[in-house]
Structure 1
Amino acid sequence: MQRVYPKFLLSAFSPEHFPAPSIPEVAFLGRSNVGKSSLLNALLGSKQAHISSTPGRTRSINFFSITDSPDRQQPQLYFADLPGYGYAKLSKSISSEWPKFIEPYLAERPTLALCLCLVDSNIPPQKSDAQLIHFLQAHDRRILVIGTKADRLSGNARVKAQAELRKGLAVEDLLLCSSKTGAGLKEVWSAIYTAAEDEG
């Protein structure tokens, strides 16, 4: 897996805060506590994304710039870490924020090359995940669904979980991965680079 050099760029609370659209962007989406920060950190090889034991801590879109060399001034990619959803105690306050700046980002951002939709591979398909995927499909977004925490599944359970998620979420592209063991991370990077090249 190629080494990358990430750098925290900014936290956006409104469309005015978004960086100028110039290079391909990859959005990370998922329910609270699905393991989004863990996956981001595993992909980046650093502790850039803050992991909290309290679900729903991310309230802004956090942008990270990615380069393949510490000497390169211009980033090649932006990663966008979006707020989690579906956590009962915070879902109302977070969902009220979605139309203001999260939906415009997902629906209108011209440089958004790929949406990584994270789902927990240990639980059945969730309605909120299906709604998000449908929203992205309606806006012709490129999607890869990632089943997180796959290290908790044995061989047969992995096959069953993958089939159930594909059927329940009505998607073909679905990848199981584990931030803990690194399984699937190479394939995630491959999808990211392919989408970025197609966008560029």
Structure 2
Amino acid sequence: MRLNPVFLLSATDASHFPTEAKTYGAPEVAFLGRSNVGKSSLINALLGSKEARVSSTPGRTRAINFFALHEVHGGRQKAAPALIFADLPGYGYAKISKSISAEWPQFIEPYLAERETLALCICLVDTNIPPQESDHQLITYLKQIQRPFLVVGTKADRLSNNVLGKNIAALKREHGIEDILPVSSKTSNGIPALWQSIQGVLE
């Protein structure tokens, strides 16, 4: 299945959330992670495009950016999206001003807790650094509100298999989870397996 991504909108308030998911019954997949974890790069690797804006400045994404993914058959694009990606603002970066950090829960928490069309949360953790408390808080929160989630370990290409294995074991232990999918936006390792998990929400 070929999917063509189309940028929908940036939302900084619950009233801005797109209606396409509800109108067409398209499941939504949210991407969450600390600033600079490689969220936009991963979304672009999945889409095979540069739809998500990659910034060298951590914490640059301050809104939820929504992308509609339309099936393409025989060169023709279906009007109704098959899937919607939501790119959420990064968290846990000290240089973000307090005013932005204060605004964060006003529309992020309602999105995660109340969004009916949200089918899966992709939680990104950096395999190159020790387990982070902010990641643990997010994973605990998703467990509490009973949101389906998948933990993905980014930047896996930077480590030897031996070190990667040890780091993933530490992340699983600290975050109290059974599975972490290691991926690399650079080499595309793990991207097909991630797509398989995402397409599971379509079924």
After TM superposition, the score normalised by the length of structure 1 is 0.95
Alignment RMSD? 1.1
What is the aligned partner in structure 2 of residue 163 from structure 1?
169
Q: Structure 1 residue 95: deviation in Å?
A: 2.4
What is the aligned partner in structure 1 of residue 69 from structure 2?
66
**Residue among 128, 131, 135 paired with 2:134:** 128
Deviations 1:103-142 (A, max 9, x none): 0000010110100000100011100000011111111001
Q: Distance in 2 between matches of 1:156 and 1:37?
A: 27
Segments of 5+ residues of structure 2 without an aligned counterpart are none
Q: Distance in 2 between matches of 1:138 and 1:91?
A: 28
Give the secondary structure class of the aligned counterpart of 1:28: strand
What is the aligned partner in structure 1 of residue 86 from structure 2?
80
Q: Distance in 2 between matches of 1:188 and 1:91?
A: 33
Q: Structure 1 residue 88: deviation in Å?
A: 0.3
Structure 1 stretch 95-104 or stretch 130-139: which is displaced more? 95-104
Q: Distance in 1 between matches of 2:130 and 2:115?
A: 31
Taking a change above 3 Å as real, the CA distance of residues 47 and 149 of structure 1, as seen in their structure-2 partners, is: same
Q: Does the alignment pair 1:4 with 2:3? A: yes
Segments of 5+ residues of structure 1 without an aligned counterpart are none
Taking a change above 3 Å as real, the CA distance of residues 117 and 94 of structure 1, as seen in their structure-2 partners, is: farther
Give the secondary structure class of the aligned counterpart of 1:66: strand
Q: Structure 1 residue 196: deviation in Å?
A: 3.0
Q: Distance in 2 between matches of 1:92 and 1:118?
A: 23
Deviations 1:84-108 (A, max 9, x none): 0111010633321222111000001
Deviations 1:36-84 (A, max 9, x none): 0000000000000111111101000000000221521110111000000
Taking a change above 3 Å as real, the CA distance of residues 94 and 136 of structure 1, as seen in their structure-2 partners, is: farther
What is the aligned partner in structure 2 of residue 195 from structure 1?
201
What is the aligned partner in structure 1 of residue 38 from structure 2?
35
Identical residues among aligned pairs (%): 62
What is the aligned partner in structure 2 of residue 142 from structure 1?
148
Give the secondary structure class of the aligned counterpart of 2:146: coil
- For 2:70, the aligned partner's letter is T
Q: Distance in 1 between matches of 2:191 and 2:2?
A: 12
Q: Distance in 2 between matches of 1:68 and 1:134?
A: 34
**Residue among 176, 179, 183 paired with 2:182:** 176
